[in-house]
Amino acid sequence: MNKLELPGRVWIASDIHLGPDTPATAQAFHRFLIKASAQADALILCGDIFDAWIGDDVALSAPPPWLAETLTELGHVSEKIPLWLGRGNRDFLIGRALAGHVGAQLLPDQVCLATDAGPILLSHGDEYCLADKSYQRFRRLVRCPAVQWLFLRLSLSFRRGIADFARKRSMASNRHKAMEIMDVSPSAIEQAFSGTDADIMVHGHTHRPQLHRLTVGGRERRRYVLPDWDYDHGDTPRGGWLAVDATGPHLVQASKLS
């Protein structure tokens, strides 16, 4: 298990799903970044920062305006506090080039944080959704280094077409899946806890923010699910993060950010 020491005030967010069609979400996220820079000692974004990511070369060559603005804001954060970027199921192709471009460090897919609140298991969370067998097959395929190597050598337009097709197919498929299939599997959570001394787990992916209490190995454990972000659709804007300090983890959900 990868380990990372992060003392002080650590903020963790996930599932912002930024794209060209989410201007209000982007502005809320940018305000959050300013807030984190002023109030936190480190910021972790643990996956699905972007609704799709087809390669770091998009950001390094000629990023569209919405992306360029977000990259600038991320760079401002890293000038003030350590910034860590994780990879989710939508932006698993984020690499060291992007992290270096914004002055961040790339987060391992699974990591144990040494914090003032104690050890915390952190990941995006999609690896725990074992009941969704079709997704897990897809995940194994796209995480294969050879497949990624081949994909990144396609033209940008071809990559965009593949990403759009995969996203639409995933959305159509999810409409017919029971919610419990797309949630984490209890056995996977128990197994993850059993392999460490951590009593706290943090992940995103499921878009079901909540604190879950469970007993594993005769000890009480806590699983914090991070909120997803959406300030562009529906009547109830949403976002949030987990703030970790010596008093413990605190889940913050925000319908607006000032």
Distance CA 45, CA 172 (A): 27
Question: Is 124 flagged in the annotation as binding?
Answer: yes
Give 243's pLDDT tier (boundaries 50, 70, 90).
very high
* 149 falls within a domain: no
> What pLDDT does residue 129 have?
95
> What pLDDT does residue 175 have?
63
Question: Is 17 flagged in the annotation as binding?
Answer: yes
Contact partners, residue 136, CB within 8 Å, separation at least 6 = 129, 130
CATH of the domain at 99: 3.60.21.10
* 179 falls within a domain: no
Q: What is the pLDDT averaged over residues 193-214?
A: 94
* 43 falls within a domain: yes
* 165 falls within a domain: no
Would you say 200 and 214 are in contact if contact means Cβ atoms under 8 Å apart? no
Instruction: Give tens-digit pLDDT for 139-185.
Output: 999 999 999 999 999 998 899 898 888 877 777 666 656 666 679 99
* 176 falls within a domain: no
Per cent of the chain over pLDDT 90 is: 81
Question: Is 80 flagged in the annotation as binding?
Answer: no
Question: Is 228 flagged in the annotation as binding?
Answer: no
> What pLDDT does residue 188 have?
95
Question: Is 90 flagged in the annotation as binding?
Answer: yes
Give 93's pLDDT tier (boundaries 50, 70, 90).
very high
Per cent of the chain over pLDDT 70 is: 96
* 232 falls within a domain: yes
User: Which domain covers residue 206, as residue numbers?
Assistant: 2-125+198-253
210 vs 167: which has the higher pLDDT: 210
Whole-number average pLDDT of the chain = 92
> What pLDDT does residue 219 have?
93
Residue 7 has pLDDT above 80, yes or no: yes
Question: Is 15 flagged in the annotation as binding?
Answer: yes
Closest CA to 156 of 53, 85, 67, 20: 53
Question: Is 205 flagged in the annotation as binding?
Answer: yes
Q: What is the pLDDT averaged over residues 123-137?
A: 93
Q: What is the pLDDT averaged over residues 67-76?
A: 97
* 211 falls within a domain: yes
Give 229's pLDDT tier (boundaries 50, 70, 90).
very high
Question: Is 174 flagged in the annotation as binding?
Answer: yes
Question: Is 89 flagged in the annotation as binding?
Answer: yes
> What pLDDT does residue 60 have?
86
How big is the chain by its Cα radius of gyration, in Å?
18
Quote the number of domains for the chain: 1
Would you say 9 and 118 are in contact if contact means Cβ atoms under 8 Å apart? no
* 161 falls within a domain: no
